[in-house]
Structure 1
Amino acid sequence: MTAATAARSILTRLHEVMASRANAQAKLNRVVDVIGESLDSEVCSIYLLREGMLELFATRGLDQSAVHVTRLAIGEGLVGTIAQNTEMLNLAEAASHPDFAYRPETGEDRFHSFAGVPIVRRQRAVGVLAVQHADPRRYEEVEIEALQTVAMVLSELIANAELIDEDDALAASAALTGPELLQGLTLVKGLGIGAAVFHQPRIQIEHVVAEDTEAERQRVYLAFDRMREQIDRMASQAEFGVGGEHDEVLSTYRMFAYDEGWARRINEAIDSGLTAEAAIERVQQRTRMRMRQIDDPLLADRMHDLEDLANRLLRIVSGQIGTAASQGLRSDTILIARNLGPAELLEYDKRRLKGVILEEGSLTSHVVIVARAMGVPVLGRIRSLRALVREGDQLLLDADQGHVTVRPIPAMIEAFEARFTKTRERQAAYAAMRDLEPVSRDGQRLTLLMNAGLRDDMALLKMTGADGIGLFRTEFQFLVSATLPARERQTRLYRDVLESAGSKPVVFRTVDIGGDKVLPYLRHNDGESEENPAMGWRALRVALEREGLLKSQARSLIEAAAGRVLNVMFPMVSEVWEFDAAKEVFEAQLAYLRRQKKVLPEAIRYGAMLEVPALAEVLDQLVPKLSFLSIGTNDLTQFLFAADRAHPKLAERYDWLSPAILRFLKRVIRDVDTYREGRQVDVTICGEMGGRRLEALALIGLGMSRLSITPAAVGPVKALIRSIDVGEIRDVMREWLACPPPDMRAALLDYANARGIEVD
C-alpha cells in the first residue's frame, strides 16, 4: 500500500464524517476511530490548543475520562515537544525519549510505540495528532505520511468548527518561542519598530480536500509550466547572466523547478485527495522537517531555495501573485525579504515602512542605495528569517547596533521606545535649526549641502535648510527602470529637480552605473563577469564607451537647465583625458542645441569626482579645467586601503580617521589651492564620512569648508559646526598630521569631550 492510497482511504472516510450533521466533538470522536482503524493502531488521539495548553479533545484507546482533562504545556511531554518544534516524532519506545511525560489518568502504561505529527494552521501548531501501539515498533513511512496528510485536513475541520481560538493560538505561539535577538549586518543605519510583513506573503490555504483529483493535477501541471517559464526568463536576463552568486542561485532554482522527484511527490499528495495548494504545502511541511535536521550549511541553503520556489509555485497555482506592496501596508511595518530590488522598495508606502530586513543583501546592493536615500534602516545577512519570524510578529529593528529583537517583551519595547523618543527629540531639535546658518563660534560660514537621487528627496532640501544639492545621483532613475529611461523622462526629472531647488545650486553627477550597480538592460559587450567590479567597467568608463548614453543625458541636462546655471560632475575620473572626453560630449550637445535655437543654460560648470587615487597625482593638469572638485570618500577609502567596503570582515577594519586618509585629503586640498590659478575652485566632500560628526570635525580641521551629506546628517553636522572654533581645530589637526597620535579617533574624541562638543 502506498502513502497516497493509505491517505486517500482515510480521507474518503473522513469526508463522510465531515459532511455529516454531527457536532464538532462527535466528528472528532469519529475521526480518531477512522484513523485508528485504517492504520490498525490501538490508540489515536487528537490534542488541540486551548488557552495556551494542549488539551486532549478526542481519543480511541486511552481512558475516555481523560478527554478535556489531560492538558500539556507547549514543550511538555512528547505531544508538547511536537507542537513546540512543529515536527513529527516516531518512536519504538516512547518512555525512552528524554521529553516523555507520563500521565496516569490516560491509562497509557501498556503502550510502547508512539508517533505524532503537528496539526498546523497558518504556520503555527494548533494541535497534535498522535497514534500509539502496545508493541514496541516504529511506524512505517507510509503510515507517517498518511498521518501528516490527515493532519492537514484536520486543520481545516478544526478551524471551520472554531474549536481553537486563532488569537489564543497566536499568543501561545509567541509565548512558545519568546523574545529572540537576531544579529545581522548593518546596511543602512537607523531604528524602526513595526509588525513583520513578508514581501512575498505566504498563501493561506483554505480548502484542503479535493473534489476533482484530475482537475487539481492539471492546475499543478500548468503552474509548473508557468514557474519554469519564469525561471528560464530570469536566467536569460542580463542581470543574471554574468556569473557569480545570481548564477548559482538560478542554477539551483532551475534544478528544483525541473526536478521530477519534487513534482512526483506533489502528484502523490494530490492522489491522496488533497487540493493542489494543500499538496504543495504538504510536501513543503515534510521538507521543512528535514531542513531542521541538516547540519551542512550549503545543503540547508539549497533547501531554502526549494522553500522559495515552493512559495512561488503556491502563488501561481492560487492566482495570488502580488507582493505585499500591492496589498498595501495597514500599519507600521518592518519588511522582510530574501532580497529586494530598488523598484520594488519604492512601491511601498514610505509613511508606514519603518525598516527592511534581508536574508541576503550587501552594502552596495541597489536596494541599499535607494533605502539610504529614503532614510529607511536596513539590516542584512540574517539567514532562515521565515523559520525565525512569523507574519505579524512585532520587531524592534536596531540597524545602528546591527540586530533585531523578535517578539519583544513589554520591558524591551519600553526601553526601545524611550531610546527612539530621544532620537526623535534630537531630530526635532535639528529640524528647528533649519533656518540657522552653519556658522562656527569663531564666525566662519561653512557650506552644508545635501545628497539626493529621487524626485521626492527635494522636499528635504527645505526641511533640512541645506545650502543646495551637492550630489544628485542621476543613476537612481536608471536603477528603478526596467529599460533605459527615454531622454524626455530624464529631462522632465532634471527640470523638476532644478525647479524644486529654486535659487539653490544642484550638482548633477552623470550616471554612475556598472560595477556594483548592474543594469539588466545594459551589460558589458563580452558578457563576462568581473572579479572586482568596483574597479571594473563602471561610471564614466561605461558612459564614454556607450557614448549614446552620455549624449542622451547631456542633452537632457542642458535642456532641463535652460536659463539656469548647470553644474555637471563626472564620476570616477582616473585621468585627465577622461574628463576632457566627457566635457567634449557636453560641449558638442551644447553646440547642437545652439544651432537648433534652443534656450541654453546661463552657464555650465564642470566638475570631477575624485575617487581614484591616481587622479590626485595629476591635479596640476586637471584643476585649471575645473569649476569644482568633489571627493568621494566611500570609493576612495577602499581604493587607498585595497579593502572592499562590502566585505563583512573589512567593512569596519580601516578607519576613516586614519592618518593615511587624512594626510591624503589634506594634500588634495592644498594642491587644488596651489593649481587653481586665482580662480574659485570649490572642493567638497561627498560621502558618508562627512555625515558623521567626529569625522566631519576632522575634515573641517583639514581645511574643508564644504560638505555634501545625507539629509538626516544635515542637522547634526550643522549643530556641530555651530559648537566649534574652526581656527582652533585647524591648528590642532595641523600638529596631529605632522606627528600623529597613537589613536587619532581617541584623540579627536578627547578633544571634543573636553570642549563639550557633541559627536557620534
Structure 2
Amino acid sequence: MSVSAAASAREILTRLHDVMASRSPAQAKLNAVVNVIGEALDSEVCSIYLLREGVLELFATRGLMEEAVHVTKLALGEGLVGTIARNVETLNLDEAARHPDFAYRPETGEDRFHSFAGVPIIRREEAVGVLAVQHVDPRPYADVEIEALQTVAMVMSELIANAGLIDGHGDNLTRPQSTASARASGFKLVEGMAAGAAVFHQPRIHIEHTVAEDTEAERHRVYAAFDKMRDQIDRMSSQAEFGVGGEHEEVLETYKMFAYDEGWARRINEAIDSGLTAEAAIERVQQRTRMRMREIGDPLLRDRMHDLEDLSNRLIRIVSGQLGTAAQMGLRGDSILIARNLGPAELLEYDRRRLKGVILEEGSLTAHVTIVARAMGIPMLGRVRDIRTLIGEGDRLLLDSGEETVMIRPGADMEEAFEAKLLVSQKRRAKFAELKSEAPMTLDGHRCTVMVNAGLRDDVAALDLTGADGIGLFRTEFQFLVSATLPQRERQMRLYKDVLDAAGSRPVIFRTVDIGGDKALPYLDHDRHGEEENPAMGWRALRLALERDGLMKAQARALIEAAAGRQLNVMFPMVSEPWEFDEARALFEAQRDWLAGRGRKMPNQIRFGVMLEVPALAETIDMLLPRLDFLSIGTNDLTQFLFAADRAHPKLALRYDWMSPAILRFVRRIVRQADAAGVPVAVCGEMGGRPIECMALLGVGIDRVSITPAAVGPIKAMVRSLDREKLMAYMAQLLEHPPRSLRAPLTDWAAANKVELA
C-alpha cells in the first residue's frame, strides 16, 4: 500500500461528507462508507459493527460475505471486535488468528484474511461500534492508516447516532425511576461529610458538525479559543485563595503548563488539517488521550492526564459558544456536585459557599482535582458506578466519604443519624491534624519511617501537609508522558532541583524513568519490539533504559547536576538480575565522572538502590545486597508477578489478597536478608498505605513505607497505637501454620490490643 493512500484521512472525510449529506437511507450510507474507506486505504475488507440491544451486529461490509450482514453478532468481549468495544481500544495485528481473543465466524468468509485493524466508534466516551479493516497479506497497518481510521470512526459516530442505529448509550439523563431512599458506595478521595441537593456538572458538549468546510476558518476559531481559555486559567490562578504555600498552588501551575503546551495545540492543528471542524479536532485529540489513559497502568500518571481532559472540555465549550456547566448556571443552595470526572479548574469555578461535596464516577487519590478539593475542604467520593441510574437532579444527598457511602433521598431517621455522626467526625479530623508534627513511634519505642510517593513538583507539598519523613518514591516518568517530545536534560534538571529544594532536608528517592509497556511514548519507536501481549512484563523500565542508554545518560546528568551539594538517592525499577543494576550504576558513575571532569559541582553522596518487584531478583538478592545502599519492595507489581495475576483483570483484582501468607513470607525473607547485610528496606506501594496491611508488614520486620499522602495520618495513628515486638511474635506464630488469609486473625488481634485501624 502506498504512503499516499495510507495518509488519506482528508480525502476520506471529503468523500464521507458527500455521503452523509445525501438523502439516502442510513443503511445505504453505511454501505457507501465501507467502500469509501476500503478504496482509500486499498484494503480488501472494511466492516462496520454497531452496538444494538447489547451486542455488536455486522451492519455493513466490503469484502466479507454479504449474507453475514445483520446475521453476524458478537457479544462485548467476544472476538477481536468485541474486545475493541469492551476495552475501547485499537487493535492492529499482522496475524489476527494469533491473538488470544480471535474468534472465527465462518459465515463471514474471513478465513483468507490475515491482517486486521479495528478502532472503536465512540460516543459520549463509550464504544457504540467498531470500524475494522482486513487484508490478505500478513502485515500491520501503518500508524497513519490507524490515525485515518480513528478520525473516520469519530465522524461516523455522528452519522449512526443521528440515524438512530445504536443503543442510547450515554444519552439517558432522565431521573431514576425509583423515588425511595437508596445507598451508593464508592472510594474515599477527600474525607468528610456533607449534605445537599444533587447537581450534575455535565461538561460534555454534543458536537453537531465534524467535517470542516473551511480549514483555515476552523484553525482561527481554535486559536481564539486557546487565547480565551488561557486568560481564564490565568485569572483563576490569581484569584484562588487557599492560603500561602499549599500543594494546590503547584497544582494550578502544572495545570497552566498543560494549557500552554504547544504539543497539545499542534496535535489539534494536525486534526484540523485532516478535515475536522475545530470542535471535532479537539474531541479527536481528547479521544486519543482517553485511550492512552486506559493503557497507562500507573494510577498516578493516569490521573495526571485528567487535566488534559478538563482543558479539552473547556476548550470545546469555548469554541462552540456553549458554556452551560452547572458552575456557569450558578448553585441555588447547598449542593453536592455529580460528575464523571473533573479537572481542578472546573472545580474552582463553583461557589465555595454552596458547594458542599463532590461525587465522581471515576477519580482517584492522586488526581489534581482531589488535591484542590482537599485544599478547599470539600469531601469527595470517587468510583461511584452508574450514578445517573440512582440519583436525579435535585435529590437530597447525605455524603459520608469516610464511610465511602452516599445516602440518596434519606428519611428522617437517616438525617438524624447523619447529624450525630457529623459531630464525631469533626473530632476525628482534628486528631489526625494533631499527628502531623508527631513521630510515627510504636508503643515499645521503635521509630518507623513514613514517606510519601510523588510524581510532580506539586506533590512535594504533601510533606508539609502530612508531616511525612520524605519522598520514598518520586516517579520521574510523568514528565516524559506529558511531553510531546523527549524532555531535554535542562528541563529535567530544573524539575529535579525544584523537588529537592522543596523537600529541604528531607530525603527524596528518585526512581529512574519507568516507561515502555503500558506507558508507551509516542515519540519513541517501539515498532521493532512488536505488539506486547503482556506489557507489564515487557520491554519497559530499566530494560528499555539500558538499551536506550542516551535517554538514561541524559537523566543521569540531570539528576547529578540537580543534586549538586547534597545527597542524591537513585533507585532503578524492574531489576531482574544483579548485572542489570551493575550496568545502570556504571552508567550513572560514568556520567558523574564526565561532569566532574568538566568542573561541575557534584552531589555530596550518591546512594543507589533497586526496586524489588520481579520475584527472580529475590533468588540473587544475597549477591546484590553488598552493592546496595537501600532496597524498596514494590508491592503492586510484585503481587501480580508472584501470583501470575493481572491486577487490572476484573476477575483477578480481588482474588489474591495482600494478607496472603505467600506475600508476607516473601517480604519477611527479604527483610531478614537485608537486615543481615545492613541495608535499609522499605515498601513502596498501595499495600503500605492501608492500616491493616501496613500492620502486617510491621509484623514481618518492615519499618519504612512510602505511601500516598492521604494515608499518612491513618498509618501514623496505627503505628503509634501498636506494640511492635508483641505483633512480631504473633506474626511469627501465625506464619508457621498460616490460614488462607491473615486478614481475619490480624483484625481480631488489633481489636484485642486496641490498635487503631482508622
Identify which of 655, 658, 661 aligns with 2:660.
658
Report the equivalent of 2:156: none
Query: How do 1:450-529 residues align onto structure 2 when only pairs under 5 Å count?
Result: 450-522=452-524, 524-526=526-528, 528-529=530-531
Report the equivalent of 1:382: 385
Tell me whether 517-526 or 326-335 shows the greater mean CA deviation. Answer: 326-335
Q: Which whole-Å CA distance do the structure 1 matches of 2:733 and 2:481 have between them?
A: 45
Q: Which whole-Å CA distance do the structure 2 matches of 1:241 and 1:444 have between them?
A: 44
Q: Does the CA-based 8 Å contact 2:282-2:316 persist in structure 1?
A: no
Q: 1:397 to 1:558 in 2, by over 3 A?
A: farther
Cα displacement string for residues 157-182 of structure 1 (whole angstroms, at most 9, x for unaligned residues): xxxxxxxxxxxxxxxx9798646757
Identify which of 692, 695, 709 aligns with 1:694.
692
Q: 1:430 to 1:529 in 2, by over 3 A?
A: same
Identify which of 529, 540, 543 aligns with 1:541.
543
Report the equivalent of 1:585: 587
Larger radius of gyration, structure 1 or 2? 1
Q: 1:664 to 1:527 in 2, by over 3 A?
A: closer
Report the equivalent of 1:737: 735
Report the equivalent of 2:681: 683
Tell me whether 417-426 or 608-617 shows the greater mean CA deviation. Answer: 417-426
Q: 1:536 to 1:356 in 2, by over 3 A?
A: farther
Q: 1:402 to 1:605 in 2, by over 3 A?
A: same
- State the 1:591 CA deviation: 1.8
Q: 1:465 to 1:176 in 2, by over 3 A?
A: same
SS in 1 for 2:600: coil
- State the 1:615 CA deviation: 1.0
Q: Does the CA-based 8 Å contact 2:176-2:392 persist in structure 1?
A: no
Q: 1:497 to 1:413 in 2, by over 3 A?
A: farther
- State the 1:320 CA deviation: 3.4
Q: 1:591 to 1:332 in 2, by over 3 A?
A: farther
Identify which of 195, 198, 203 aligns with 1:200.
203
Q: Which whole-Å CA distance do the structure 1 matches of 2:356 and 2:475 have between them?
A: 23
Report the equivalent of 2:27: none
- Structure 2 unmatched runs, 5+: 1-173, 209-220, 222-271, 298-312
Q: Which whole-Å CA distance do the structure 1 matches of 2:325 and 2:491 have between them?
A: 27
How many residue pairs end up in the alignment?
495
Q: Does the CA-based 8 Å contact 2:201-2:327 persist in structure 1?
A: no
Report the equivalent of 1:749: 747
Q: 1:748 to 1:441 in 2, by over 3 A?
A: same
- State the 1:616 CA deviation: 0.7
One-letter code aligned to 1:502: G
SS in 1 for 2:746: helix
Q: Which whole-Å CA distance do the structure 2 matches of 1:683 and 1:356 have between them?
A: 38
Q: 1:501 to 1:557 in 2, by over 3 A?
A: same
Query: How do 1:584-663 residues align onto structure 2 when only pairs under 5 Å count?
Result: 584-663=586-665
Identify which of 661, 672, 675 aligns with 2:674.
672
One-letter code aligned to 2:361: L
One-letter code aligned to 2:382: L
Q: Which whole-Å CA distance do the structure 1 matches of 2:293 and 2:707 have between them?
A: 33
Identify which of 545, 551, 556 aligns with 2:553.
551
Q: Does the CA-based 8 Å contact 1:558-1:600 persist in structure 2?
A: yes
Report the equivalent of 2:249: none
Q: TM-score, normalised by structure 2?
A: 0.56
Q: Which whole-Å CA distance do the structure 1 matches of 2:476 and 2:734 have between them?
A: 38
Q: 1:197 to 1:572 in 2, by over 3 A?
A: farther
Q: Which whole-Å CA distance do the structure 1 matches of 2:754 and 2:648 have between them?
A: 34
Q: 1:392 to 1:502 in 2, by over 3 A?
A: farther
- State the 1:731 CA deviation: 1.5
Q: Which whole-Å CA distance do the structure 1 matches of 2:507 and 2:594 have between them?
A: 25
One-letter code aligned to 1:433: L
Q: TM-score, normalised by structure 1?
A: 0.56
> Are positions 1:706 and 2:704 aligned together?
yes
Q: 1:633 to 1:345 in 2, by over 3 A?
A: farther
- Structure 1 unmatched runs, 5+: 1-172, 206-218, 247-310
Q: Does the CA-based 8 Å contact 1:630-1:685 persist in structure 2?
A: yes
- State the 1:191 CA deviation: 5.5
Report the equivalent of 2:719: 721
- State the 1:507 CA deviation: 1.0
Q: 1:175 to 1:382 in 2, by over 3 A?
A: closer
SS in 1 for 2:667: helix
Q: Which whole-Å CA distance do the structure 2 matches of 1:402 and 1:514 have between them?
A: 34
Report the equivalent of 2:577: 575
- State the 1:707 CA deviation: 1.7
- Please report the RMSD computed on the Cα atoms of aligned residues, expressed in angstroms: 4.4
One-letter code aligned to 1:707: V
One-letter code aligned to 2:683: I
Query: How do 1:35-114 residues align onto structure 2 when only pairs under 5 Å count?
Result: none
Q: Does the CA-based 8 Å contact 2:398-2:406 persist in structure 1?
A: yes
Q: 1:230 to 1:501 in 2, by over 3 A?
A: closer
One-letter code aligned to 2:744: A
Cα displacement string for residues 244-269 of structure 1 (whole angstroms, at most 9, x for unaligned residues): 899xxxxxxxxxxxxxxxxxxxxxxx
Percent of aligned pairs with the same amino acid: 53
Q: Which whole-Å CA distance do the structure 1 matches of 2:539 and 2:346 have between them?
A: 30
SS in 2 for 1:651: coil
SS in 1 for 2:527: coil
Q: Does the CA-based 8 Å contact 2:681-2:702 persist in structure 1?
A: yes
SS in 2 for 1:714: helix
Q: Which whole-Å CA distance do the structure 1 matches of 2:423 and 2:476 have between them?
A: 35
One-letter code aligned to 2:755: I
Tell me whether 395-404 or 709-718 shows the greater mean CA deviation. Answer: 395-404
One-letter code aligned to 1:606: F
Cα displacement string for residues 503-551 of structure 1 (whole angstroms, at most 9, x for unaligned residues): 1111111222333444454562348543322222332233233333322
Q: Does the CA-based 8 Å contact 1:244-1:529 persist in structure 2?
A: no
Query: How do 1:110-189 residues align onto structure 2 when only pairs under 5 Å count?
Result: 178=179, 181=182, 186=187
Report the equivalent of 1:437: 439
